[in-house]
Structures are given as structure tokens and as C-alpha cells.
Amino acid sequence: MEIDTDKIDYAALALLWLTLHEQRRAWKGLDWDALDRLHQKGLISNPASKAKQVVLTDEGLRPAKELFRTLFTRPEP
């Protein structure tokens, strides 16, 4: 079985949206490899810090919200 890390990254970004506070901060309690890839893609701040949070970049906020809606919400009736 081959793992699609892009799909994992999309789900991780959507879950970061779930824990979003102060407009762009999110708790970084997710897989470190996924967080590193999101940072390399420019979607979050560097997760390798003493802070318990990462900051979603301008490039990360919009797709995080859209991915959250796509993956985790029900269609409106």
C-alpha cells in the first residue's frame, strides 16, 4: 500500500483549522512529518519551535477552511 502524503497533509491542515484561535494560531498536536511538509509548502509557520502552536500563513488559511468544510461538514439541506 502506498501512502498519499498529500492527502494526509490536507487532512492535517483541515484539522489545524478545527483548533484555530486568535485568527491564525492552531495547536500543533499532529504528526510531525505532516507539520513539516505543511511548513515546507508555506502553509504554516515552522513547527520546530518551543511554542505549542503553529501559525497558519496567508497561503494556508483559505485552503484550511475549504478543506475543513469539504472533509468534515455535512451538506446543508
pLDDT digits (tens, 9 = 90+) for 8-66: 999 999 999 999 999 999 998 899 999 999 999 999 999 998 889 999 999 999 999 99
**Helix/strand/coil for 53:** strand
**Residue 58: Cβ within 10 Å count:** 9
**The pLDDT of residue 9:** 95
**The pLDDT of residue 77:** 82
Cα-Cα end-to-end distance for the chain = 37
Biggest alpha carbon–alpha carbon distance for the chain = 44
Find the domain containing 60 and state its range. 5-72
66 within domain boundaries: yes
**The pLDDT of residue 35:** 95
Number of domains composing the chain: 1
Question: 47 near 12, Cβ under 8 Å?
Answer: no
29 within domain boundaries: yes
77 within domain boundaries: no
CATH number for the domain harbouring residue 19? 1.10.10.10
